[in-house]
Chain A
């Protein structure tokens, strides 16, 4: 990425990004822009460069943050009505880490409200449009992040991935999207969705940029005790000799052009002397059901905090406290938020807990074991990200189960806590990007990033 120096100033980079943000306004990428603050920071960096003072590894690089990352004194919406208006009292650790290295946030970008969705159509502010076809979805939930990078508005963007929310929009827009190992990056100051699954990651144009961002952000954070002790910078990438492909994903439910892209990639790898092996992973077909039990259960719990009392939207039409809760939550949540909260309360309620939540927690153990066994046979796994390329706006938004099917090949790695990197893998005949994901065991983030570099 272009980093500011004596010839390319931070002010030039930021002005360029702001101009592009304006030019692509009709894609509905940004929920807010911070023009003045960004230009002020750029001027400070340029001054430092002029004076020969040290600047960070991302000096003057413009970026966008998914609008579920809190930045002190700016509005954070999570693209949800119920948070309006919420002026963040703190800054998320990831945004702080990036800022310390000189990166400049030019704005916040759109998502499905509370990151519930696979198309960004569940945003209170309307959908973000696909970078390659304006009649199609950006993917989701980090749709704004993916399109901001794909249209070259910014050099990189932050995202969060609970079940595919970085990888699927990355693949729909032809960019790189990393869901790190669970616990690799801090979640302090990011709106919680499902705490045993949520991970923060990035969208970039190259694997090299991803490596740099991970070096900066994959650190233990005292403010988030679910971060792992530092491992990213200390580990070296393992050479990849064997790549596994999941037999259970190679079926008619997956678009033929995506299956062909995977086969073509495997042929390329074989020519480089890499062995391709087939993996039997029979529990994977249950991963989506497991995910749509565990995730809503955690959502129901995490989203119980939105009650209209301490912050955010409060319904005006209530005469007593009970009504205030009920009306605020009814008016403030989007339909998909309501579905997930209610399903979560269903699977956790007495009489259904054992058959749904406990059952899913047991199945999760089986999935983890299945991945462990797979990585005894191969170094990384190469798989499709989603069953189809970007679909039409409106095609699935009123059919929740059809929308959930989008996540069928992405959710299992969140359940297992392993890392996955979406990589561009060509285009369909009609010109839509195709993405594949490289998966590795826990803490293999560097291996999958370096492997993506090798097979570019």
Chain B
């Protein structure tokens, strides 16, 4: 598996990075090296093995649908944004 320039652009797109051209060479080289390394895993036989996605040996934890702790209020959260107008977060035009 080799990471091509096309792959890199696709991955930048999936990652939402506006990558400048001058960063692409080194990132392509880095990702290519990393993918080569992780590809070594293909040697390991995993036939018939169930995957593990988490190591928390408990089942789903249910709780009542009620708010017990709300550490931050609306104003405090809105304070964190760069631009706010009438209790809404302001962003540049969408289209």
Which residues in A have some Cβ–Cβ distance to B below 8 Å? 72, 86-87, 89-91, 182-183, 196, 222-223, 225-226, 228, 283, 286, 289-290, 292-293, 300, 304, 307-312, 314, 318-321, 323-327, 329-330, 333, 335, 338-339, 341-343, 345-347, 349, 355-356, 358-366, 368, 400-401, 404, 415-417, 442
CB atoms of B61 and A225 under 8 A apart: yes
CB atoms of A311 and B81 under 8 A apart: yes
CB atoms of A368 and B55 under 8 A apart: yes
Question: Would you mind naming 8 contact pairs between A and B with Cβ atoms under 8 Å apart?
Answer: A183-B56, A196-B53, A293-B38, A307-B16, A323-B18, A335-B26, A361-B53, A365-B51
CB atoms of A325 and B16 under 8 A apart: yes
A184 to chain B, nearest CB (A): 11
- Out of A196, A363, A404, name the residue touching B46 (CB < 8 Å): A363
- Out of B26, B41, B76, B80, name the residue touching A310 (CB < 8 Å): B80
A314 CA to B92 CA, complexed, in Å: 11
Closest chain A residue to B48, Cβ basis? A362
- Out of A365, A366, A400, name the residue touching B34 (CB < 8 Å): A400
B54 to chain A, nearest CB (A): 5
Count chain A CB atoms within 10 A of each CB in B7, B15, B42, B68 and give the residue with the most. B15
Within 8 Å CB of B61, what residues of A?
225
Given A310-B89, A311-B80, the answer on whether A356 and B49 have CB atoms closer than 8 Å is no
8 A Cβ contacts from B13-36 to A: 14-20, 26-27, 30-31, 33-35
CB atoms of A293 and B52 under 8 A apart: no
Within 8 Å CB of A182, what residues of B?
55-56
Given A308-B82, A362-B49, A362-B51, the answer on whether A338 and B41 have CB atoms closer than 8 Å is no
Closest chain A residue to B61, Cβ basis? A225
A202 CA to B42 CA, complexed, in Å: 36
A201 to chain B, nearest CB (A): 16
A362 CA to B91 CA, complexed, in Å: 42
CB atoms of A89 and B93 under 8 A apart: no
CB atoms of A289 and B91 under 8 A apart: no
A226 CA to B50 CA, complexed, in Å: 22
CB atoms of A401 and B34 under 8 A apart: yes
CB atoms of A326 and B16 under 8 A apart: yes
